[in-house]
Amino acid sequence: MYVAARSLEARAYDAVVAGGADDITPAQARLMAQIDPGGTRVVTLAARARTTKQSAAFLVDQLERAGYVERVADPSDGRAKLIRLTPRARAIGDLADAEVARALSEWEGHVGSTRMRQLEETMAMLREITDPWA
């Protein structure tokens, strides 16, 4: 599972860089992938990335300067900020998503549609017991 997941991640990252986002590091890309559509607090990003709040904040600062994320007020707590993707980040996310879809299509061509469907179902079932944010 690890090798396959890393392959997908590498292909998505390479597609983003090829699409012109050559100012994003793999660590920044991984953090961006953890941002919810409505925004996510830095402390939550740090937990998801299994890093310190300081490290996550450092990456967010870099991404903000590059125009990929913005800090906005958290409507549930006026003292807190949410990190939200900018249109620029969403555009490169679309590139990554398209590459992942191509890779999954290739995998399906290799293992067949039945096995691919079973893999997706199995992974969804495993997520229920392994992903604390599911």
Domains and CATH numbers, the chain: 2-130 (1.10.10.10)
Length of the chain: 134
Over the stretch 20-71, which tens digit does the pLDDT of each residue have? 999 999 999 999 999 999 999 999 999 998 999 999 999 999 999 999 999 9
Over the stretch 31-44, which tens digit does the pLDDT of each residue have? 999 999 999 999 99
Amino acid at 63: L
Residues 110 and 118 sit within 8 Å (Cβ to Cβ):
no
Q: What is the pLDDT of residue 131?
A: 86
Q: What is the pLDDT of residue 132?
A: 83
Contacts with 72 (C-beta within 8 Å, 6 or more apart), sequence order: 39, 81, 82, 84
